[in-house]
């Protein structure tokens, strides 16, 4: 399905939209077999079909989310330093429950780091990854894109938000061995987020629980904070991207996430042929073929540093480009 013709950055486009944000659980997993992330439970196969495991030189390094058949979204800090910015060293594992059980492993063709990414403050901590070839449609029951939020998205108490990933189960470095995990968190008011961490950027949000027992940890960076709300027709939206925090699972120190709705237009500007408009029933039409459009992408030109568990230098948070 495609939307109406849409003007974006003075370019006339026809933007396609496919089914997004739909869970497709097909298999139940024993929830007693192990915990996930920090304070989570084991996910079911197909429950979060946009969840991706990113491997660098063959090892789990970060998470990502599926945006379309050939694009993923992750955190900029995952691609720090020159060697980490080489797409040839990365692979994306899709349709996977346990490490090593991916239904599809894709090579990365291009990494697009936000041009304003700040390695000291983690502001603009967002990146896009183009796959060398699309994942096969025959796996659509296990691989689906997540929906992008509207730029005007406002979170309310009616929203339910979950974090997923294969990262460490504790700050001490206990690895996850039983599939990826999920846990529900609450999104904090921005004023409360600032009270905990200082002058955080408006492009960040905080989420967690007061006890600190539910939190992302090392290895979860770049993965999704997925939110659902009544009226969204059962669709999940990518509200946040795992970015940074003070340790893992500490009381009163929530995780900090990239606020995705601040980048919806930026994402669309870089992926002109993807199914990435914010979902709205009024925008859907049928029987229209979409033509792929060649795109000019930003070359990453930053020196990045993976520091997921470190608190940024607070004063420099004020230096917003």
Residue ranges of E strands in 229-293: 237-244, 255-259
Angle at 259 between CA 258 and CA 265, to 5 degrees: 110
- The first and second tokens of residue 34, run together, are 């192990």
- Which is the catalytic residue, given 77, 93, 104, 270? 77
H or E element at residue 128: strand 127-131
Tell me whether residue 221 is one of the annotated catalytic residues: yes
CA distance 215 to 250: 8
Structure tokens at 160: 């339910």
Contact criterion met (CB below 8 Å) for 34 and 41: no
Question: Out of 69, 201, 221, 226, which one is annotated catalytic?
Answer: 221
> What are the C-alpha distances in Å from 315 to residues 203, 258, 294?
16, 19, 40
Q: Is 159 a catalytic residue?
A: no
> Is residue 243 annotated as part of the catalytic site, yes or no?
no
Residue in 123, 125, 215, 273 annotated catalytic: 125
56 C-beta neighbours (distance < 10 Å), count: 16
User: Half-sphere exposure of 212 toward its Cβ, with a 13 Å CA cutoff?
Assistant: 14
Would you mind telling me the total number of residues written for the chain in this entry?
A: 321
Provide the annotated active-site residues: 77, 125, 221
């Amino acid at each position: 399905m495609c939307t109406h013709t849409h003007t974006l950055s003075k370019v006339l486009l026809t933007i396609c939209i496919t089914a997004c944000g739909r869970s497709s659980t097909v298999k139940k997993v024993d929830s007693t077999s192990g915990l996930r992330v920090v304070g989570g439970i084991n996910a079911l196969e197909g429950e979060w079909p946009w969840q991706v495991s990113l491997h660098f030189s063959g090892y789990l390094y970060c998470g990502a989310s599926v945006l379309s058949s050939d694009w993923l979204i992750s955190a900029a800090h995952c691609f720090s330093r020159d060697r980490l910015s080489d797409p040839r060293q990365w692979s994306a594992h899709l349709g996977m429950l346990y490490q090593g059980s991916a239904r599809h492993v894709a090579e990365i063709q291009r990494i697009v780091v936000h041009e304003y990414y700040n390695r000291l403050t983690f502001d603009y901590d967002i990146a896009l990854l183009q796959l060398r070839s699309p994942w096969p449609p025959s796996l659509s029951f296990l691989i689906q894109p997540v929906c992008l939020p509207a730029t005007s998205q406002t979170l309310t108490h009616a929203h339910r938000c979950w974090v997923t990933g294969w990262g460490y189960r504790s700050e001490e470095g206990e690895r996850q061995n039983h599939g990826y995990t999920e846990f529900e968190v609450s999104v904090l008011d921005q004023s409360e987020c600032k009270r905990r961490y200082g002058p955080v950027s408006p492009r960040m949000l905080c989420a967690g629980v007061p006890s600190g027992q539910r939190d992302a940890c090392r290895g979860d960076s770049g993965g999704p904070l997925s939110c659902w709300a009544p009226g969204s027709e059962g669709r999940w939206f990518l509200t946040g991207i795992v970015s940074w925090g003070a340790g893992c699972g500490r009381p009163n120190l929530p995780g900090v996430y990239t606020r995705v709705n601040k980048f919806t237009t930026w994402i669309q500007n870089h992926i002109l042929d993807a199914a990435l408009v914010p979902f709205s029933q009024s925008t859907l039409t049928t029987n229209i073929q979409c033509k792929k459009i060649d795109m000019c992408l930003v070359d990453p030109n930053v020196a990045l540093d993976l520091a997921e568990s470190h608190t940024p230098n607070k004063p420099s948070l004020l230096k917003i480009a």
